[in-house]
Structure 1
Amino acid sequence: MGSWAVIAQYGYARDYYETTIIRRGLGTKDHALEELRAVLHTYRPAKGIREQWRQVYRFADLESYLLVIKGQVTEWKCTLRVAELISDSTDPTVAERA
Structure 2
Amino acid sequence: MGKWIVIVQWGDYQHELNRGAESTKDQALEELRAAAQTYLPNPGIQEKWRRVYRFADRESYFVVIKGATTKWRCTFRLAELVSDSTDPAVAGKAQAEDTAADMAAEPQDRVPPGFG
Q: Say whether the fold is shared (TM-score over 0.5).
A: yes
Relative to structure 1, the CA distance from residue 69 to residue 34 in structure 2 (aligned partners, 3 Å threshold; closer, same or farther) is: same
CA contact (8 A) 1:26 1:32 kept: no
The structure whose residues are more often helix, as a share, is 2
Residue 38 (structure 1) shift: 1.8
CA contact (8 A) 1:10 1:79 kept: yes
> Runs of 4 or more off by more than 4 Å in structure 1?
none
Residue from 72, 78, 92 that aligns with 1:76: 72
Q: CA RMSD in A?
A: 1.6
* Bigger RCO of structures 1 and 2 (CA < 8 A, at least 6 apart): 1
Report whether the alignment pairs 1:20 with 2:15: yes
Give the match for residue 14 of structure 1: none
Structure 2 matches for 1:1-98, cutoff 5 A?
A: 2-11=2-11, 17-24=12-19, 25-98=21-94
Q: Is there any run of 5+ residues in structure 1 with no aligned partner, and where?
A: 12-16
Distance 1:63 1:38 in 2: 12
Work out the percentage of aligned pairs sharing the same amino acid. 60
TM-score by length of 1: 0.86
Which of structures 1 and 2 has the bigger CA Rg? 2
- Which has the larger displacement, 50-59 or 19-28? 19-28
Q: What is the DSSP-based 3-state SS (H/G/I as helix, E as strand, rest coil) of the residue aligned with 2:37?
A: coil
Aligned length: 93
The structure whose residues are more often strand, as a share, is 1
